[in-house]
Amino acid sequence: MTFYWHDWAGYVGVALMLLAYLLLQAHKLHGNGLVYQLMNVLGALGVMLSLLFGAFNASAFFMEVAWLLIGLYGIARGARVRKEAREAGHKVAPW
C-alpha cells in the first residue's frame, strides 16, 4: 500500500481532532481555548486535503467544512471575548 502526502495529511488531521477531544475530556484543554480550536481547524484541513486529493466523499467533506467553520467561529469569538476582557481591565490568559 502506497501512502501519498494527502493520506498523511488525513491521518494527521484525524489524530489532531481525536487528541483535541481526548485532551478536552481529560480537562487538559478548554473547549473555548485557542489551542483546542486550532487543533480542530488544522485537523479538519488535513482531512479535507485527503478527501480532495484522494478518494472524495461528499458527506465527509461537508462535515469537515462545517467543523472548520465552527472552529474558525470559535477562534474569532474567543479573540473578541479576550479583547473585551482586556478593555474592561480584566487579566486574560493568552490561550
DSSP 3-state assignment of 39?
helix
53-87 pLDDT tens trace? 999 999 999 999 999 999 999 999 999 998 998 89
So what's the pLDDT on residue 90? 81
- The pTM of the full predicted model, rounded to 2 decimals, is 0.90
**CA-to-CA separations, 59 to 16, 50, 83, in angstroms, rounded:** 20, 14, 36
